[in-house]
Structure 1
Amino acid sequence: MAKINGNEIRPGNVLEHNGGLWVAVKAEHVKPGKGGAFAQVELRNLRNGSKLNERFRSADKVERVRLEQRDMQFLYENDGMLIFMDAQTYDQVELPSDILGERRPFLQDGMTIQVEFHEQEALNATLPQKVTCRVDETEPVVKGQTAANSFKPATLDNGIKIMVPPFVGPDEDIVVNTETMEYSERA
């Protein structure tokens, strides 16, 4: 593991801090008028999901942890746990369903996602950036609206509501960006 300075912490970095593994959610660099500069970092515990706000001065050293990433296939959900399988070794791993948060509805049967491991312990899962979904219902096109700047609400087959361009109709497949939860393109 590599030690980094407190001012080198970026969002997405995984740190070993206070005896636990934490991911940096937000990192803001502050230069007060008096005193030295520091990084105000919001951390989330990878094991139990608790949050912590911490200040790191540039002289502070923290352990940056590198997680092993493996592509795994989603099999099913059972009692609030998501079951994934490694395609090479057929090993199965369980992760809590709330690890994906509001992006959980985008997880589809058989989908390949990235699971992050630390010393053979599964800690985190990341969905693909773009997922294909079907539009269940949307409002009809209003004549005279230009496609350049107008969007209309639509409900997807997974229950998520997003804004789509006027030319998208019901029963069409579209590509949704899972990071921003916005329409990306037609499928």
Structure 2
Amino acid sequence: MYEAPRILKVQDNIVKVIASQIRKGNVVEIDNQLLVVLKAESFFPGKGTPTTQIDMRRLSDGVKTVQRYRTTEQVERAFIETKPYTYLYEDAHGFAFMNMESYEQVSVPADVIGDQSVYLAESMECQISLYNGVPVAIELPARVVLEVTETEPVTKGQTASSSYKPATLSNGQRTTVPPHISAGTRVVVMTEDGSYVERAKD
């Protein structure tokens, strides 16, 4: 079966990739406009053509748009640099980070981080993607440790296999935890969706 070339260099910082390879945080070029990918999802129906839906935001003016492609259709992706940065603080301009090797500081706008900003903690190392020095995407550590500040008390006879119960975490976020977890317990949660992973080992 013939497969189209996956990556074809077209100019210094633009490559062509198939739509199904596009991921959140990538920067694509459409009609000479640069857009950052907010979400990319591929659909494989039983019948018909597989498609990839890409939610994007234009870098020039912040306008959001949604495009749908055939999964094998080619999209122009801009090459962006990704480096580790350490979180410092939040101010009126956004979230300040520093590269610990070069001491270069960048300010990441709130809409680039989105809902994950509640998981930022001082000195946390994140991967920031820059295009021409402008932060366009950020990747937080996949998991963080937080304390359960409020949840229903442990009921005698409940086991770990019982249904989960609501809980509030030390960053104010709500999640669900196993019945044996009580307030004051430190737990590991996923930064992507705030879901409970396990009791913290420390």
Structure 2 length-normalised TM = 0.79
The answer to whether the aligner puts 1:43 opposite 2:55 as a matched pair is yes
SS of aligned partner of 1:98: helix
- The 1:144/1:29 distance shift into structure 2, 3 A limit, reads closer
SS of aligned partner of 1:114: strand
Residue 25 of structure 1: aligned partner: 39
Residue 162 of structure 1: aligned partner: 175
Aligned match for 2:128, one of 99, 115, 132: 115
Matches within 5 A, 1:42-121: 42-45=54-57, 47=59, 48-57=61-70, 61-121=74-134
Aligned match for 1:175, one of 188, 199, 202: 188
Residue 31 of structure 1 deviates from its aligned partner by 7.4
1:75 and 1:162 map into 2 onto residues whose CA distance is 26
- The 1:32/1:93 distance shift into structure 2, 3 A limit, reads same
Unmatched 5+ stretches in structure 2: 1-13
Kindly report structure 1 stretches of 4+ aligned residues shifted beyond 6 Å. 30-34
1:137 maps to a residue whose letter is E
SS of aligned partner of 1:72: strand
Q: Deviations over 1:68-116 (max 9, x none)?
A: 1111011111115100000001111011123222221111111111111
Structure 1 length-normalised TM = 0.84
Question: Are the aligned partners of 1:24 and 1:41 in contact in 2 as well (CA < 8 Å)?
Answer: no
SS of aligned partner of 1:145: coil
Residue 60 of structure 1 deviates from its aligned partner by 5.2
2:38 and 2:120 map into 1 onto residues whose CA distance is 24
Aligned match for 2:149, one of 130, 133, 136: 136
1:102 maps to a residue whose letter is D
